[in-house]
A and B are shown apart, each in its own frame.
Chain A
Amino acid sequence: MNTNFSVDWFFISILFFTGAYCMVVSRNIIRLLIGFEIISKSAMIAIITAGQLSNNINLAQTLIIIMILIEVIVVATGLALIVKFYNNYQTIDIRKLINLKG
């Protein structure tokens, strides 16, 4: 059970930057949401590794259960907004969000 905390957080930061790259580069809004999902998963792994290091794994599990619920609701809301955006604008290109400027 003696895993290496620093190796875990190194992989967490790689996953975080992969998700951030996906958000910066893509033009399709649904792909932005996939990047958002990857970043949320990396945050959850961070909580479990920190909880395991200080022998407090049960508190960390409780937090994860609630965070999964929050994540599902936020993703469902995001996709509902994207479908409504498609109904209004007939496209899902992010370069088209230029109506409000200044």
Chain B
Amino acid sequence: MSIYLLIYFLIIVSAVLSVISKKLINSAIMLAVLSVGVSLLFFTYEAPWAGVFELSVCAGLITVIFISAVSLVKQDDEAFKENRVKYTIFPLILIIFAILSSIFVPDYFSKLSNFSIYLENQNEPVGKFIWLYRGVDIIGQLTLLSASVFVIKHIFKKKKTAEER
């Protein structure tokens, strides 16, 4: 029980730090720490495949894409100040609300979990699930990947100069 609370604590702290940091690169690095925390959570729930995918893709690829985009969009950080002073009242209210609701809100969620059914005989391996039961999703992944190639090509097309027309 305690290992779950530690990982949840890491996730919440990195999310809060990513929201309140002033520079964009710090937010992107805190997002990577969040992804590592989520991946550790998947491992402790006995979902190793999901943990591996999350670690390699989200904590690696998305962080690289974010940092490259932040470098392409160079902007003076003092060009526009995000005036968050007037919004400071909301996090305080939210923190107090979070602490108070931890007493009676989990009751509602446990009522939701009472409806669940403990299914038997569901210990088939993941590979059989991916290929046999959800084989149609492979067509979905093919559609998504081919769509993404053409999408990136379409958004960054070159504008024809007057001579080329």
Contact = CB atoms under 8 A, between A and B. Distances in A.
A binds B: yes
Interface of A: 1, 3-11, 13-15, 17-19, 21-22, 25-28, 30-31, 33-35, 37-38, 41, 44-45, 48-62, 64-66, 68-73, 75-77, 79-84, 86, 91-93
B109 A37 contact: no
Contacts of B145: 73
B122 to A, nearest CB: 5
A75 B65 contact: yes
Contacts of B19: 18, 21-22, 34-35
Contacts of B100: none
15 contacts: A6-B107, A10-B105, A21-B90, A21-B94, A38-B31, A44-B54, A55-B119, A57-B47, A58-B122, A60-B47, A61-B129, A68-B57, A73-B148, A75-B66, A76-B65
Contacts of A45: 38, 41
Contacts of B57: 68-69, 72
A6 B117 contact: no
Contacts of A38: 15, 18, 31, 34
The A contact surface, by secondary structure, is: helix
Contacts of B116: 5, 50, 53-54
Contacts of A62: 126, 129-130, 134, 137
Interface of B: 1, 4, 8, 11-12, 15-16, 18-19, 24, 27-28, 31, 34-35, 38, 41-42, 45-47, 49-50, 53-54, 57-58, 61-62, 65-66, 69-70, 72-73, 75, 79-80, 82, 84, 87, 90-91, 94, 98, 101-102, 105-110, 112-113, 116-120, 122-126, 129-130, 133-134, 137, 140-141, 144-145, 147-148, 151-152, 155-156
B113 A3 contact: no
A47 to B, nearest CB: 9
B130 A65 contact: yes
Contacts of B123: 58
Contacts of A58: 122-126, 129
Given A14-B12, A62-B130, 13 more contacts: A6-B110, A34-B27, A37-B31, A53-B116, A55-B122, A62-B137, A66-B141, A75-B62, A77-B152, A80-B156, A81-B155, A84-B156, A93-B80
